[in-house]
């Protein structure tokens, strides 16, 4: 809301003026006024308050959250007309989905009497309706079901309309105008009772809609089925969490080309010249069937025009975006259905470069710094933000690009190019301003079009952008993210009066000389820089709003932090280069840090750790023969402890909150394993080179209650590992890497939940225990860099399991 933004702008500007006067350093811009006084600010806020109240009185009609039902209905009605038109584009396009059809058909006709629900889920334009149509019209499906009904629901649920559709599908055109809803429901139930029916419910958006619909269908053990299509995973899960949820993916290049040819040439041979340029068009459409069909509609009018095809290949993206029946209108339905709290998070994705791979952790920190995440009880902002991201993934607007092998969590994600275009279009429409590419070169900030208090975010994606920001009236600039490795002057930030910056991310640029004037950027919450100087600038500690600091320097391994580092009272995440280690001063003032990428523990270890009572993720380097006591860190869930080969650690104690533990070069006696074994929440254990000292590890009787990953890289000295008596109750992923392990004795009962086993670089291992194959949950054994006898033992396990009818176990040998 503009009024709210204006209020924030006035308060932040006043705070900046106070901070500037206190530090005695003024920006060079003539537009920044450091003499704002409290009286003027109070008058401005009073005016804003009056305006805000008048807006509320005027219109309960204008209340933006939630939107009035009449507005929802009008927008849904307008969109549904396009939705019907766009679905016609995909009619009779059955390329590349034969296996999908077989999979769903087999599930629908399987021998189960109980009513079952099968779902097809995917983003708009992937062809969910097309796939459901082919299944619906399959010859065996027609033969199997006595009654088949197709119902289209869309965003606006009309109970009477749905009941009418069902009845007319069964009995043809009926005159039902005089029948009330109760009578219609009775007729539906009567016509379905005792029959094996298939109901396709196409384009369902709401959980509440399903709850209303499901009562219409009788449960009389006739083998009936319901097939849903939806963009919302949560709807499918709610309908039947145990049933088949078929996630529809993108077409590969071959299938995309087949689809394009079918629509353009309609069975005729394609000219040879069209193949290369056509493949480029297919690649531009990124596997989205609806995009391909839209472009095919353009090409079909010029099927034999080589020059026109080349032009389309160069401008494919604009045809998809700008066509009257283009894809963005279809994809826009997903956006209009987003709750308010997700919209800013979604639009933000559009500012990043095409095919950008979002690291989930970093994206979450940016969302928090931008102020998109609203506090909810005692839940951390980062956890709330992760929930927001999972919601966008469930809505098929964000694609999972990488998952953790140990726990399946999402590590990286991305958005389809068309989704990015949608973000940019909606950002312009809704005033969520994203300055990208070359827009920064125009004097747009002060041209009267954009209000001075309207937040501006700059994403620098183009080499030609001027990094010195020549237009100084930019006090409303909140964000600068740079994706280029080009020269940059730190003074440009302050000289441009960017005093209200919240996010400044320059880590992808060449190392810059840190400007002392940057201490004026008191509103900074996220700072990522690559610095030339060796020493850590103490003026950074004046930025008391900082939540995330990514500080990269290549000059020395150790980064000694200044004595006033604890002044950063809001700092939650401190990261450096992988070779940088932070050295903290001893201080009695505790910090709110949750993440430290690398910390040097020297003298006064206990006092140092007491400075981080809220730490969750910590990587430490140790150099002393002493005791390391982490048990007071009650929030710690992930710890990596790295020693050296010259000294060994006497003893380590851990908090019960710990879930992930990595030990390397610690030289612990094996008797200390009992301490690790006793950790009640441990899920991940990685033992690297010389983590323990000794040739024998006797683990008889030890249990790891929730262990998910164990034993990496030369962690154990000795040639025999016998797991008799051990039971890894929750172990799902096991990797043995670089171990001097010759004989491994294991039993299926030792790993009752194991899903994946990886053996990497175990050069003297003789074989994999046969009993491993008897683990009922085991899905994959992967072997790399081992002796031939290990490979052969894996093959024997596979053959034996096949003899028993177990074809779920896969063997990958690299």
Question: In this predicted model, what pLDDT tens digit does every residue of 223-232 receive, in sequence order?
Answer: 999 999 998 8
The token pair at 220 is 């009389």
Residue predicted with more confidence, 35 or 475: 475
Residue 233 lies in a domain: yes
Please check whether residue 125 is in contact with residue 417, taking contact to mean a CB–CB distance below 8 angstroms. no
Give the alpha-carbon dihedral of 551, 552, 553, 559, to 10 degrees.
50
Checking if the pLDDT of 698 tops 50, the result is no
Please check whether residue 289 is in contact with residue 251, taking contact to mean a CB–CB distance below 8 angstroms. yes
Query: Exposure string (b/e) for 557-583, b if CB count within 10 Å is 16 or more?
Result: eebebeeebbbbeebbbbbbbeebbbe
Question: In this predicted model, what pLDDT tens digit does every residue of 110-135 receive, in sequence order?
Answer: 888 899 999 999 887 788 888 998 99
Checking if the pLDDT of 88 tops 50, the result is no
Residue 39 lies in a domain: no
Last residue of a domain, one of 291, 311, 337: 337
Residue 141 lies in a domain: yes
Sequence-separated contacts (24+) of 613-619 with Cβ below 8 Å:
none
Checking if the pLDDT of 47 tops 80, the result is no
- pLDDT for the residue 265: 83
| C-alpha closest to that of 521 among 486, 555, 497 | 497
Structurally, how many domains does the chain consist of? 3
Considering the domain architecture, whether residues 361 and 410 belong to the same structural domain is answered as yes
pLDDT band, very low/low/confident/very high, at 291 (cuts 50, 70, 90): confident
Checking if the pLDDT of 284 tops 90, the result is no
The token pair at 80 is 């549904």
Please give the Cα distance from 698 to 813 (Å, whole number): 30
Residue 516, CB half-sphere, CA atoms under 13 Å: how many? 6
Residue predicted with more confidence, 649 or 796: 796
- pLDDT for the residue 227: 95
Checking if the pLDDT of 507 tops 50, the result is yes
Considering the domain architecture, whether residues 235 and 273 belong to the same structural domain is answered as no
Please give the Cα distance from 513 to 534 (Å, whole number): 10
Checking if the pLDDT of 472 tops 60, the result is no
Give me the sign of the Cα torsion angle 401, 402, 408, 410: negative
pLDDT band, very low/low/confident/very high, at 167 (cuts 50, 70, 90): confident
What's the pTM? 0.69
Residue 809 lies in a domain: no
Checking if the pLDDT of 313 tops 50, the result is yes
Residue 48 lies in a domain: no
Cα distances from 146 to residues 143, 150, 196, 201, 785, in angstroms, run 7, 14, 5, 17, 57
Mean pLDDT score of the chain, rounded to an integer?
75
SS3 422: helix
Considering the domain architecture, whether residues 101 and 233 belong to the same structural domain is answered as yes
Give me the sign of the Cα torsion angle 73, 78, 81, 84: negative
| C-alpha closest to that of 282 among 271, 268, 296, 269 | 296
Task: Please name every residue paired with 549 in a beta bridge, in sequence order, or none if there are none.
Answer: 527, 574
- pLDDT for the residue 548: 96
Please give the Cα distance from 634 to 614 (Å, whole number): 7
Backbone angles phi, psi at 548, to 5 degrees: -130, 130
Q: Which of 170-184, 203-217, 344-358 has the lowest mean pLDDT?
A: 170-184
Residue 126 lies in a domain: yes
- pLDDT for the residue 24: 56
Question: In this predicted model, what pLDDT tens digit does every residue of 561-581 receive, in sequence order?
Answer: 888 898 899 999 999 887 788
Considering the domain architecture, whether residues 243 and 288 belong to the same structural domain is answered as no
Provide the CATH number for the domain around residue 406.
1.10.10
Residue predicted with more confidence, 475 or 778: 778
- pLDDT for the residue 83: 39
- pLDDT for the residue 737: 75
Q: Which of 199-213, 291-305, 632-646, 716-730 has the lowest mean pLDDT?
A: 716-730
Considering the domain architecture, whether residues 220 and 118 belong to the same structural domain is answered as yes
pLDDT band, very low/low/confident/very high, at 90 (cuts 50, 70, 90): very low
Alpha helix stretches (DSSP H) within 29-127: 38-58, 69-89, 98-108
Please give the Cα distance from 117 to 240 (Å, whole number): 6
Please give the Cα distance from 705 to 272 (Å, whole number): 63
User: Domain containing 354: what range?
Assistant: 338-425
192 Cβ neighbours under 8 A, 6+ residues apart: 147, 170, 217, 218, 224
Considering the domain architecture, whether residues 232 and 117 belong to the same structural domain is answered as yes
Last residue of a domain, one of 391, 425, 459: 425
Residue 538 lies in a domain: no
Task: Please name every residue paired with 581 in a beta bridge, in sequence order, or none if there are none.
Answer: 558
- pLDDT for the residue 41: 52
Residue predicted with more confidence, 9 or 761: 761
Provide the CATH number for the domain around residue 288.
1.10.8
pLDDT band, very low/low/confident/very high, at 45 (cuts 50, 70, 90): low
Question: In this predicted model, what pLDDT tens digit does every residue of 612-643 receive, in sequence order?
Answer: 899 999 998 887 667 778 888 999 999 998 88
Considering the domain architecture, whether residues 189 and 309 belong to the same structural domain is answered as no
Considering the domain architecture, whether residues 149 and 205 belong to the same structural domain is answered as yes
| C-alpha closest to that of 258 among 91, 134, 97 | 97
Provide the CATH number for the domain around residue 145.
3.40.50.300
240 Cβ neighbours under 8 A, 6+ residues apart: 116, 117, 118, 119
- pLDDT for the residue 84: 39
Using the structure block, give the residue that is written with the tokens 């890497």. 737
- pLDDT for the residue 169: 79
pLDDT band, very low/low/confident/very high, at 219 (cuts 50, 70, 90): confident
Please give the Cα distance from 229 to 467 (Å, whole number): 48
Considering the domain architecture, whether residues 265 and 218 belong to the same structural domain is answered as no
Considering the domain architecture, whether residues 111 and 179 belong to the same structural domain is answered as yes
SS3 494: helix
Residue 559 lies in a domain: no
Please give the Cα distance from 174 to 163 (Å, whole number): 12
Please check whether residue 294 is in contact with residue 255, taking contact to mean a CB–CB distance below 8 angstroms. no
**Radius of gyration for the alpha carbons in the chain, expressed in angstroms and rounded:** 31
Please give the Cα distance from 190 to 313 (Å, whole number): 55
Interval 770-783 mean pLDDT: 88
Give me the sign of the Cα torsion angle 351, 357, 362, 367: positive
Please give the Cα distance from 448 to 467 (Å, whole number): 23
- pLDDT for the residue 526: 94
Give me the sign of the Cα torsion angle 364, 366, 372, 378: positive
pLDDT band, very low/low/confident/very high, at 588 (cuts 50, 70, 90): confident
Please check whether residue 371 is in contact with residue 426, taking contact to mean a CB–CB distance below 8 angstroms. no
pLDDT band, very low/low/confident/very high, at 733 (cuts 50, 70, 90): confident
- The bridge status of strand 780-784 relative to strand 756-760 is parallel
| C-alpha closest to that of 630 among 666, 580, 581 | 666
Last residue of a domain, one of 202, 225, 247: 247
- pLDDT for the residue 57: 37
Q: For residue 541, what is the DSSP state?
A: G
Please give the Cα distance from 138 to 154 (Å, whole number): 24
Question: In this predicted model, what pLDDT tens digit does every residue of 249-270 receive, in sequence order?
Answer: 888 888 888 888 888 887 788 8
Question: In this predicted model, what pLDDT tens digit does every residue of 436-455 receive, in sequence order?
Answer: 554 443 333 343 444 444 56
Please give the Cα distance from 550 to 402 (Å, whole number): 23
600 Cβ neighbours under 8 A, 6+ residues apart: 558, 581, 582, 583, 584, 620, 621, 623
Considering the domain architecture, whether residues 106 and 173 belong to the same structural domain is answered as yes
Give me the sign of the Cα torsion angle 391, 394, 395, 397: positive
Residue predicted with more confidence, 434 or 578: 578
Interval 374-400 mean pLDDT: 87
| Beta strand segments in 654-778, E | 660-664, 668-669, 684-687, 692-693, 720-722, 733-737, 743-745, 756-760
SS3 527: strand
- Cβ count within 10 A of residue 343: 17
| Beta strand segments in 231-344, E | 245-247
Task: Please name every residue paired with 622 in a beta bridge, in sequence order, or none if there are none.
Answer: 601
DSSP string, 677-702: HT-TT--EEEE-TTSEESS----TT-
- pLDDT for the residue 660: 85
pLDDT band, very low/low/confident/very high, at 68 (cuts 50, 70, 90): very low
- pLDDT for the residue 400: 84
Considering the domain architecture, whether residues 297 and 176 belong to the same structural domain is answered as no
Residue predicted with more confidence, 345 or 552: 345
């Amino acid at each position: 809301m503009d009024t709210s933004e204006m209020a924030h702008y006035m308060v932040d500007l006043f705070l900046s003026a106070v901070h500037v006067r206190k530090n005695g350093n003024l920006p060079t811009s003539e537009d920044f006024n450091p003499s704002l006084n409290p009286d003027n600010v109070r008058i401005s806020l009073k005016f804003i308050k009056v305006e805000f109240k008048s807006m509320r009185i005027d219109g309960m009609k204008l209340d933006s959250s939630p939107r009035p039902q009449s507005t929802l209905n009008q927008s849904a009605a307008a969109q549904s007309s396009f939705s019907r038109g766009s679905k016609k584009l995909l009619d009779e396009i059955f390329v590349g989905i034969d296996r999908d059809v077989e999979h769903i058909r087999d599930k629908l006709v399987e021998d189960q009497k109980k009513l079952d629900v099968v779902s097809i889920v995917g983003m708009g334009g992937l062809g969910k309706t097309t796939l459901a149509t082919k299944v619906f019209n399959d010859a065996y499906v027609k033969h199997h079901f006595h009654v088949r009904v197709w119902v289209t629901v869309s965003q606006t649920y009309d109970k009477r309309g749905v009941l009418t559709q069902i009845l007319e599908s069964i009995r043809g055109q009926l005159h039902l105008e005089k029948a009330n809803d109760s009578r219609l429901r009775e007729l539906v139930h009567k016509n379905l009772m005792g029959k094996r029916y298939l109901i396709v419910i196409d384009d369902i958006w709401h959980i509440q809609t399903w709850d209303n619909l499901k009562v219409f269908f009788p449960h009389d053990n006739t083998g009936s089925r319901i097939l849903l299509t939806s963009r919302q995973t949560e709807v499918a899960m709610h309908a039947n969490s145990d049933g088949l949820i078929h996630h529809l993916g993108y077409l590969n290049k071959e299938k995309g080309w087949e689809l394009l040819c079918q629509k353009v040439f309609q069975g005729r041979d394609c000219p040879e010249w069209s193949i290369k340029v056509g493949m480029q068009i297919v690649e531009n459409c990124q596997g989205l069937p609806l995009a391909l069909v839209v472009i095919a509609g353009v090409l079909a009018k010029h099927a034999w025009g080589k020059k026109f095809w080349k032009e389309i290949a160069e401008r494919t993206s604009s045809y998809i975006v700008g066509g009257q029946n283009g894809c963005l209108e279809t994809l826009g339905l997903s956006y209009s259905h987003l709750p308010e709290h997700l919209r800013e998070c979604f639009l933000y994705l559009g500012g990043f470069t095409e095919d950008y791979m979002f690291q989930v952790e970093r994206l979450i920190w940016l969302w928090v710094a931008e102020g998109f995440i609203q506090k909810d009880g005692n839940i951390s902002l980062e956890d709330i933000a992760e929930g927001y991201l999972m919601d966008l993934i469930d809505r098929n607007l964000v694609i999972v690009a990488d998952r953790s092998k140990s726990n399946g969590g999402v590590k990286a994600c991305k958005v389809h190019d068309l989704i990015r275009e949608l973000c940019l279009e909606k950002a312009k429409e809704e005033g969520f301003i994203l300055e990208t590419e070359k827009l920064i070169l125009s004097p747009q900030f002060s041209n009267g079009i954009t209000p001075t208090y309207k937040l501006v975010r700059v994403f620098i994606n183009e080499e030609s952008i001027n990094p010195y920001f020549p237009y100084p009236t930019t006090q409303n600039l909140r964000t600068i993210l740079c994706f280029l490795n080009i020269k940059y002057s730190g003074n440009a930030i302050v000289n441009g009066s960017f005093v209200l910056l919240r996010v400044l991310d320059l880590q992808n640029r060449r190392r810059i000389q840190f400007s002392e004037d940057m201490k004026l950027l008191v509103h900074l919450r996220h700072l990522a820089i690559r610095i030339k100087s060796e020493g850590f600038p103490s003026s950074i500690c004046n930025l008391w709003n900082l939540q995330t600091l990514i500080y990269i320097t290549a000059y020395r391994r150790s980064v000694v932090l200044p004595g006033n580092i604890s002044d950063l009272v809001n700092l939650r995440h401190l990261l450096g280069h992988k070779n940088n280690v932070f050295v903290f001063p001893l201080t009695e003032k505790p910090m709110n840090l949750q993440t430290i990428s690398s910390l040097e523990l020297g003298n006064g270890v206990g006092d140092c750790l007491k400075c981080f009572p809220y730490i969750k993720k910590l990587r430490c380097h140790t150099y002393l023969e002493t005791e390391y006591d982490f048990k007071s860190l009650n929030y710690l869930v992930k710890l990596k402890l790295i020693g050296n080969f010259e000294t060994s650690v006497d003893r380590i104690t851990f908090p019960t909150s710990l879930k992930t533990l990595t030990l390397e070069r610690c030289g612990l006696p094996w008797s200390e394993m009992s301490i690790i074994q006793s950790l009640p929440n441990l899920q991940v254990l990685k033992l690297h080179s010389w983590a323990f000292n000794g040739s024998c590890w006797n683990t008889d009787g030890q249990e790891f209650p929730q262990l998910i990953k164990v034993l990496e890289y030369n962690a154990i000295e000795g040639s025999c590992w016998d797991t008799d008596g051990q039971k890894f109750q929750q172990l799902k992923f096991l990797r043995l890497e670089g171990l001097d392990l010759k004989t491994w004795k294991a039993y299926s009962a030792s790993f009752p939940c194991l899903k994946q086993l990886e053996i990497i670089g175990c050069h003297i291992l003789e074989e994999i225990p046969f009993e491993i194959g008897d683990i009922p949950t085991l899905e994959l054994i992967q072997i790399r860099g081992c002796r031939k006898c290990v490979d052969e033992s894996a093959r024997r396990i596979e053959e034996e399991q096949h003899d028993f009818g177990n074809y779920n176990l896969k063997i990958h040998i690299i």
